[in-house]
């Protein structure tokens, strides 16, 4: 899924926040909003019933000033998905690019809706598709997105949980209708994950817990 938010420089710089003040969804969205073009590295872990350990992917998310979203996997294989308007283009090494309507790929359509709204800080757009709730403190917050009934019937994702510190979104954890998890570590968490192999330790890193 779902990706953000620490390109080189100011994306990781945050003004000090009172640690004990409770966050709310509007506060979190205002802090993690990133208008304009961005690039951020990610480490993604996907549960699979066919594997003993989660599938691990590395790559980067990019968004142009015109709101085109690109998700590029760089390891263990190369793949690039470009979301522009109502279409997606899939590029894989050794194959011709394939373009198709986002309406045929609910997961990608959900990624476009959620990612675009997060980057723009658009709470109203998010609330069209999700019920929002916040927990934690401003220095260790969680933002939960529960799909509304109409959206839930069309998408495989049943819950999205965001974890962050101040203005830094560090991890996105999604749960599908089979109870399987996908964790996308971003920013400082993605950098820290480079030295971690244990699945439980990576899950703890995603959630901001001691490993």
Domain boundaries, the chain: 22-207
Compute CA distances 122 → 45, 66, 117, whole Å: 27, 16, 5
At residue 27's C-alpha, the angle toward residues 25 and 7, to 5°, is 100
Spell out the per-residue pLDDT of the chain, length 211, in tens: 443 333 333 344 445 555 567 899 999 999 999 888 889 999 999 988 788 888 999 999 998 877 889 999 999 999 999 999 999 999 999 999 999 999 888 788 878 878 778 888 888 888 888 899 999 999 999 999 998 865 555 567 788 999 999 999 999 999 988 888 899 999 899 999 988 988 889 999 999 886 5
pTM, two decimal places: 0.83
Is 180 in a helix, a strand, or coil?
Answer: coil
**Helical spans, DSSP H, in 100-152:** 106-120, 123-129, 149-152
Show the tokens assigned to 8: 């080189």
- Give the Cα separation of 89 and 73 in Å (integer): 14
CATH fold of 22-207 reads outer membrane lipoprotein receptor (LolB), chain A (2.50.20)
Q: What is the DSSP letter of 176?
A: E
């Amino acid at each position: 899924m779902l990706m953000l938010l620490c390109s080189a420089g100011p994306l990781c710089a945050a003004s000090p926040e009172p640690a004990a003040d409770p966050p709310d969804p509007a506060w979190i969205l205002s802090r993690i909003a990133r208008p304009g073009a961005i690039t951020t590295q990610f480490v993604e872990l996907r549960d699979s019933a066919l594997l003993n350990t989660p599938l691990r992917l590395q790559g980067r998310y990019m968004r142009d000033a015109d709101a085109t979203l690109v998700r590029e996997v760089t390891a263990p294989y190369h793949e690039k998905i470009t979301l522009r308007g109502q279409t997606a283009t899939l590029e894989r090494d050794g194959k011709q690019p394939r373009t198709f309507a986002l309406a045929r790929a609910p997961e990608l359509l959900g990624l476009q809706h959620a990612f675009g709204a997060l980057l723009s800080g658009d709470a109203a757009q998010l609330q069209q598709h999700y019920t929002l709730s916040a927990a934690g403190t401003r220095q260790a917050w969680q933002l939960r997105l529960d799909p509304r009934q109409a959206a839930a019937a069309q998408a495989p994702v049943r819950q999205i949980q965001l974890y962050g510190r101040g203005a830094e979104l560090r991890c996105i954890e999604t749960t599908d209708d089979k109870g399987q998890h996908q964790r996308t570590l971003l920013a400082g968490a993605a950098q820290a994950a480079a030295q971690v192999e244990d699945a439980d330790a990576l899950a703890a890193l995603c959630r901001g817990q001691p490993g």
